Every structure is written in structure tokens, then in C-alpha cells.
Amino acid sequence: MTITAVIMAGGKGERFWPKSRTHLPKQFLNISGNKSMIQQTISRLENLIDIKQIFIVTNELYAELIRAQIPHLPHDNIIIEPIGRNTAPCVGLASIIIEAKYPDSTMVVLPSDHIIENEDGFIKILKTAVEVAQKDNNLVTLGIKPVYPETGYGYIESTKQIQHINELEVHKVNKFVEKPDFQTAQEYLASGNFFWNSGIFIWKTSVIRNYIKLFMPEMHDLLETMKCAFNKEDKNQVIRSEFIKMPDQSIDYGIMEKAENIYVIPCVFGWDDVGSWTALDRINDRDENGNVIKGNILNIDTKRCIIESNGKLIATLGIEDLIVVDTEDVTLICTKDKAQEVKLLLKELRTQKLEQYL
């Protein structure tokens, strides 16, 4: 059976502002290593899936960036969302396009901007996930074994029903749960059967189509209308007109929280969602004072800071637990504990009509 991939690359990466910008969001930046995050995602997948079978869902703005960064990707494999919706419409649109080309494929759905250290481990797990997805009507997801009580992620609770396939544990899922508070996150961590929701899903295209029909019938109808227009001249107009009617729902909420037959494979392949600037603490080496430093920096009495220069000298004295990011036209200075709230600055820029800084 054919394996296809759907990379979701429409995000704005706002919590990585000011380096991540409207015209060049996080997935197109080199956050770690010499390649952009989406280039790394593609390379990783190509160990299992031919580039012809890899699809990227994004919005109009980023199509050119994708063509430039991944020149060997067939242009038709760039799926343009008419407007930014949530993950359910994204998966829905991709599923009908893929179904038309590969009527019997197993889809791997994954974000474009995550770091995975152990690529061999990832591929091994993906192969097993595909194997599980090809049985019955299973939905499979990769769960990250939590290493600290993170409150910024959704979690997946597994049952005691565990199979061993290819030396990997495959757990039947009990339920998907929303981002917990700190105490709950601590309990999840201690319990051993809660996993971080990686946003990576594996299923047969036909199976997800059936689940959409079952749990999101209105979206299903919109997708059917689009599909009927595929060979017609007004295809793009129909996709546009129907897509904007789609619900702003995640695939987690729309399907995963309601479906049966969900399996999670616990993973320890060095995963990070690079969700905000504090991720740099996790994915980089720190100096003897706990700082993560990049570029032209002079620091004295500086502890546990993340500092990135764009060429200009950044000189720090006495500061602790700060994020300092200098770009060509913006310098961000933010406490680490506010890293998740960088969007507040963007909101204020919009209010003040300073869109040039977004």
C-alpha cells in the first residue's frame, strides 16, 4: 500500500517573533542546524516516503517559499488553503486530493516545524504506525513520553491494553485531553500512561474520510462538493467557496476525541515542538552560566538567558532569565516566563497598525 504524507505548514509561528515573521514564519527558518525546519521535516520523511507522495498544505503566501526551499517537490503537491483554518479542514482538503491521486494510501499527517533528533528511531516508529493503521479502521498517533510537567501541550491517555509490534509498545488510547494545569500535568507525568500529543497522525485515507463523514458530516459534504469539481474548470473557485464554510476545528477535537480504535505509540526520539523561544534552552548547549548564546554577544554576570544577535553587538550585564532577540528592525526583550505571551505584542502591533513589524 502506498504511504503518503501531509505536512501542515500554514502556521505563523508567532511565538517565535520577531525572528518568525508573517512573510517568513518559523517553519522556514533555521532554528537548529543548517536547514529550515520544513526542509528537515521533508528530509526525514524521504527515508520512508517518495517526495512525489509528500504533500504540503499551506497558504498562498508561503507557496513561493516552499518552491524555493524544496525545489524537488512537485508543484502540484503544494496544497493551498484559501484561508487559514484549523487542522480538521486542512486534513480534510488533503485527504480528498490524495485520495484522487492515490486511492488506497496510508497518510502520515505531521507538523512542519518540529525537531526530531533520532531520525532512524522516528522512521522505525512510523513504519510500525503505518502497519497498525493498515489493520481494521485504526487511527494511530505518536505520543511523546513526557519528561517534565509541561502545561502547554495536549496529552493522550492510554489504556493498559498494550501490544508489542516490532519491539515497540502500541497502546490503545483511552482519551485525548486538553492542556492541563500544573498540578494535573504533574499527575500525568507521574502516572506513566499520559503522553504529549505530538500532532503526528497515521491513518488510511479511506478511514479518516469515513470518520469525517461520521463525526463532521457538514465538513464531509463540503469536501464532496469540492471533489466533484476536481476535473472542472471552476475547481479553484469551488474549493475556495466551500473551504471558507469549513469549521475552525482541530482534528483532535473534531475526530480524535470522539473516535474509537485509536492507538498511540510512545516515542523517545528526541522530540521538540519548538513552540516558543524557551525551546532553545532544550535544543541547544548552554554555557557555564546556563545561557544559550548565538551571534555577536558580550555578556557579564548574565545567567540562564537566551540571546540571539543579528550582527549588532548585544552587551548584557547582570541580567537573568531573559530572552533577547535582535533582528534587522526589531529587538525583543522578554522574560522567559512570558515566552508564551509574545503574541500579546503582536496583538498590540495590530491595534497600533504597525503591521510592518508583524
What residues make contact with its own copies under the rule CB under 8 A? 18, 298, 300-301, 312-319, 322, 324, 326, 329-335, 337-338, 341-342, 344-345, 348-349, 352, 354, 357
Nearer of residues 108 and 324 to its own copies, judged by Cβ = 324
What DSSP line would sit under 86-105, residue for residue? -HHHHHHHHHHHHHHH-TTP
Nearer of residues 283 and 349 to its own copies, judged by Cβ = 349
Asked if residue 166 lies in contact with residue 283, where contact means CB atoms within 8 angstroms, the answer is no
Nearer of residues 53 and 316 to its own copies, judged by Cβ = 316
Q: At what angle do helices 217-228 and 235-243 cross, to 10 degrees?
A: 170
Asked if residue 273 lies in contact with residue 279, where contact means CB atoms within 8 angstroms, the answer is yes
Nearer of residues 113 and 326 to its own copies, judged by Cβ = 326
As measured in angstroms, the least distance from the Cβ of 292 to its own copies is 15
Residues 6+ apart with CB under 8 A from 134: 1, 106, 204
As measured in angstroms, the least distance from the Cβ of 14 to its own copies is 13
As measured in angstroms, the least distance from the Cβ of 296 to its own copies is 9
Helices (H), 169-294: 182-191, 205-215, 217-228, 235-243, 251, 279-283
As measured in angstroms, the least distance from the Cβ of 334 to its own copies is 4
As measured in angstroms, the least distance from the Cβ of 306 to its own copies is 12
As measured in angstroms, the least distance from the Cβ of 343 to its own copies is 10
Burial of 22 (0-12, 13-18, 19+ CB in 10 A): middle
Asked if residue 196 lies in contact with residue 180, where contact means CB atoms within 8 angstroms, the answer is no
Q: How far is CA 16 from CA 10, 12, 30, 224, 303, in A?
A: 15, 9, 12, 37, 21
DSSP 52: G
Nearer of residues 226 and 345 to its own copies, judged by Cβ = 345
Helix (H, G, I), strand (E, B) or coil at 85: coil
Helix (H, G, I), strand (E, B) or coil at 21: strand
Nearer of residues 22 and 186 to its own copies, judged by Cβ = 22
As measured in angstroms, the least distance from the Cβ of 350 to its own copies is 11
DSSP 357: G
Largest CA distance in the chain: 66
Nearer of residues 267 and 334 to its own copies, judged by Cβ = 334
Nearer of residues 136 and 301 to its own copies, judged by Cβ = 301
As measured in angstroms, the least distance from the Cβ of 319 to its own copies is 6
